[in-house]
Amino acid sequence: MLIIHLQHAEQHEFSYALFSGNAASANWQLGNWGAVSGLARRNDVVLLIPTRDVLLMQTKLVTRNQRQLKQALPYAIEENLVGDPTEQHFVWQKLADDNDGLDVGVIERETLKGWMALLRKHKVKARAILPDVFALPLSDDNAVPTLMQHGEQLLVRSGPLSGFSGTASVAPLLINGLFDEETEQRAVWLYANQPEDWHADLQVLRQPQPEVLLRNSINAGMALNLLTGYQDASMSGFSRSWKRWRVAALFALITLSILAGIEAVDTRRLQAQLATEEQENLTLFKQAFPAIKNIDVRSMRSRVRSEISLLQQEAGQNGVINKPSPMRYMAKVAKTFKQENSLQITEINSRRGNLIVRFKAPNVELLEKLGQSLSKELGFEPQIKSTQSGGVVRAELTLEART
C-alpha cells in the first residue's frame, strides 16, 4: 500500500510511505511524482489531503434506510457547514455502540474534484482519499486523543473517525473541547517540534514517532473514504463496469471477429459456388437453345418453361396430341449429357412429336456408352444414328413420343 501525503495541489516534493507486504509500519520518505509513479502502478494508493479541507463530526439520525439517510444528512448538519449543502460530498459510518449515531465526513465537491484531477494528471488511481489526521496513531482503547504539532500547524485525532486541524495559537481552546470540565488529568499522546506553554496543562502518556506511519492508523480511517459514493465523468458506472468486464469483453470481441471471418469466408465460398453453377446452367441453356441470345440467369427459368411450352404446342399441331410428349425425358437426357463433358450439342428440335438432339462425339465408343446410360435413365433404348468424318463422330438422338 502506497500512502501519498499532499498539502496543496502544486506541491512538487512531498512525503510518501510504502508498506511492504503485511508490514505494520513504514517510514515517511521525501519524493516527487516521478518517484511514486512506478510504485503507484504496483500498489493500492491512499491519498492524504489536508484535514482543513474536510469536516469530521458525529451526529444522530433516526433512520436505517440508506436513501432517506443520504437525503436527510446534509440538512441535519447544515448549521455546521460553511457552504451550500448541495455543493458538498458526504460520507458516513454508523457508530458501533449507537444505532442512530454516525461518524460523518464532509468535503466540497469542487475540492474533491480538484484532487481527483491532480491524480489523473499524474496517472495515479487512488483506492481512497482520507484527511491527513488519520495518519496519527490511535491509543489502545481509543480514549486518549493524539496531538501532533509542526510549527503553527496542529492535528488532533480524537477517535478512529474523528479529529480536526487548527493553528497552535488557538490550541488551548480546541483542546478544551476534548475534555469534560471536571477532568483533572488531561491525558494525551503528544508530539511537538517546539515547546508551548499549553503543553504543561497536559499529561503526556506517549510521544508518537512523526517519521513512522502505522498501517492500523490508516485502516481505521478507511470507513470514511472520501471516494465513497463519489462520481464524475472518469468514475461513471459505465467506466467502472467496463474496467471490470474489459477482459471478458476483449475475449468476446476476438470470438466475434473470428466468427465473422469464418462467416465471410463461407459466404464467399457459397457465392463462388453459385456463380459456377449459374454459368453451367447458362452453358447448358445455350447448347439446348442456340438460337436464343442475351439470356441471363434471372430470366432463364421462365424462358426454359416458355420454350418447352412452344415445343409441346408444336407437337400438338402436328397431329400427335394423343401421344405423351417426349419433353418429359429432356431432364434425364440433359443430366446424362452433362456427365459426358466431351459431347457437344449442336441442335435440338422437335419433328412430328419426336425430340431430336444432334451432337458431336470424339469416338464411337462414347456413343455406345451414352446409349447404355440413356437406356438406364429412360427405361427404354433411344435411337442414336451416327456418321464419322474427319475424326469427328456426328450423331443424332431421337426421342419418340411413347404411350
Residue 161 DSSP SS3: coil
Cβ–Cβ < 8 Å for 35, 13: no
Residues 6+ apart with CB under 8 A from 228: 91
**pLDDT reported for residue 123:** 92
Cβ–Cβ < 8 Å for 327, 308: yes
**pLDDT reported for residue 321:** 46
Residue 349 DSSP SS3: strand
**pLDDT reported for residue 320:** 46
**pLDDT reported for residue 156:** 93
Residue pLDDT, tens place only, 31-69 = 999 999 899 999 999 999 999 999 999 998 887 778 888
CA distance 215 to 247: 32
Residues 6+ apart with CB under 8 A from 26: 3, 17, 18, 19, 20, 212, 213, 215
**pLDDT reported for residue 403:** 41
The mean pLDDT values, 10 residues at a time, for the chain of 403 residues are: 93 93 93 91 94 92 81 87 89 85 92 93 93 92 89 91 89 86 84 88 89 93 91 58 72 90 91 88 80 77 78 59 62 82 82 80 86 84 85 85 51
Residue pLDDT, tens place only, 148-161 = 998 889 999 999 99
CA distance 199 to 254: 68
**pLDDT reported for residue 323:** 53
